[in-house]
Amino acid sequence: MFLPQACDFIEAIDASDGTLLWEYRRPPVDHIASLSCANRNATIYKDQLIIATRDAYLVSLNARTGEVTWEHQVGDWTVGQHYSGGPQVLDGKIIAGMSGCYYINTGCWITAHDPDTGEELWRTNTVPRIGEAGGETWGDVPNEQRRGGSAWMPASYDPEHDLIYQGIAVPIPWGSIQRDTRGGDVLYTNSTIALDADTGEIEWYFQHIPGGNWDQDHPFERIVVESEVTPNPDAVSWINPNIVSAERRKLVTGIPGKPGIIWTMDAETGEFLWAKETNYQNVIVGVDIENQKGITNPEIDITEIRQRRLVCPTTTGGINWNSVGYSPDTNALYAPTNNTCMDYYLNPVNPVVGGYHSSATSRKINLPDGDGQVGIFTAVDVATGESIWTYQQRAAITGSVLTTGGGLVFVTDDARRLRAFDADTGEILWEQILNSSAGGFPTTYSVDGVQYIAIAAGGGINHRTLTPEIRQRSGGNMLFVFKLP
């Protein structure tokens, strides 16, 4: 078992008894980006463990020894670039999205590499430059000021259509009046883009939030499934009235962004099919189907610096980088989201290398007129958009979801609980208190016919300021492994 941890620290352990086999620590750099130590995953290819580092390298480690077999520099950490989401090997290529394109440097990109050498095969900008398709959506802003568009979570792949799906984050700075792009959509920020796996060309895109403003990132996982398409108008928030057939088709679905909305699109064409809110949000109020984008709420638009707005959810989201689960047995998504709001305003910006969090000030508040229940765990039918069951609680649900063939759904929360839910009914079947909250990914595996469940605890995204009475703890990194009888 391989444990990628902050600041490019990797541990390899025996998955049956926890014995440490080897560890790799990348030499530290005096990085200027505040989030450069985030490290969300690694990937295995042949006998290699491939990681993406905070100093903007791709590195291949021998999976049995931890020795470096090759490394390849992709970005420039001295201007703030770094990897946050790790690589994937898709269509025989390493696919990795660059992060940290904050102020002095320009927009980010996605690259493909030879997994045996690290050699770059193609590169696609996530923020188009002047003269490129979509470049006009940034208005007259010069290339060197077209910033943001980090691809800070791993991509997905559909081999049938040979398409790679990548989520793109916010523009930098967050506000359109700070960027002087008022009225522009600023592609491809807050979008799903589908890339030709061989060339990197953008085949289609859908922009969930045009223009930005509220730090509502949309870089999270895209789930590729096959399903009938029969959305129930009474169950979904928005629906494409032009759906002509309920026949099975390949879909891109899931919750790609912080507002906590399930978006479902045709995997081949990007055609919008339906969308459903899972937590309360006031950022998106509709869908412009013809122009492939969401419609934002004019009542929370920001026209002046320090103009206060009530925005739901917060900048840490109804959901953040913790992942949604999918079960082919139930054809359902399992969504761990939260009811959160914030008092929000934009600040004057003074661009500096590596900085961006001063774009705005936000103060978390509970949902006005809400019932105090923050955490929401929802099972949603992929075909119809109907909620199969919903579980609500005071503690925020901030862990990633694991579904199993045994009909279980695992998730963690801010109260340090790891729980197993019945996938069909939502009944809690088992729970364990951990030493800390766990924002990462639970997993299950077998060794010599024995099945295990594992979860690494040590913090993550949290909403503890909304639930101060709940005893919470971050840090104290620990790996918990449970063995089935």
What is the DSSP pairing of strand 408-412 with strand 402-403?
Answer: antiparallel
Q: Look up residue 255 and give its two tokens.
A: 């919750």
CA–CA separation, 469 and 179 (whole Å): 40
Structure confidence at residue 354 (pLDDT): 66
Q: Is the peptide bond before 485 cis (omega within 30 degrees of 0)?
A: no
Q: Is the peptide bond before 173 cis (omega within 30 degrees of 0)?
A: yes
Structure confidence at residue 355 (pLDDT): 67
Look up the pTM and report it. 0.97
Q: What is the tens place of the pLDDT at every residue in 243-266?
A: 988 889 999 999 999 999 999 999
CA–CA separation, 103 and 82 (whole Å): 13
Query: Domain extents for the chain?
Result: 131-383, 394-485
Into which CATH architecture does domain 131-383 fall?
Answer: 8 Propeller (2.140)
CA–CA separation, 37 and 31 (whole Å): 9
Structure confidence at residue 34 (pLDDT): 82
Structure confidence at residue 426 (pLDDT): 98
Name 145's Cβ contacts closer than 8 Å, sequence gap at least 6. 106, 179
Structure confidence at residue 358 (pLDDT): 77
- CATH of 394-485, picked from 1.20.1070, 2.60.120, 3.90.1690, 2.40.10, is 2.40.10
Structure confidence at residue 116 (pLDDT): 97
Q: How far apart are the first and last CA of the chain?
A: 21
User: Strand, coil or helix: what is 202?
Assistant: strand
CA–CA separation, 225 and 203 (whole Å): 19
- Per DSSP, what are the bridge partners of residue 3? 11
Q: What is the tens place of the pLDDT at every residue in 24-47?
A: 999 999 988 888 898 889 999 999
pLDDT < 50 positions in the chain = none
Q: Look up residue 173 and give its two tokens.
A: 């700075």
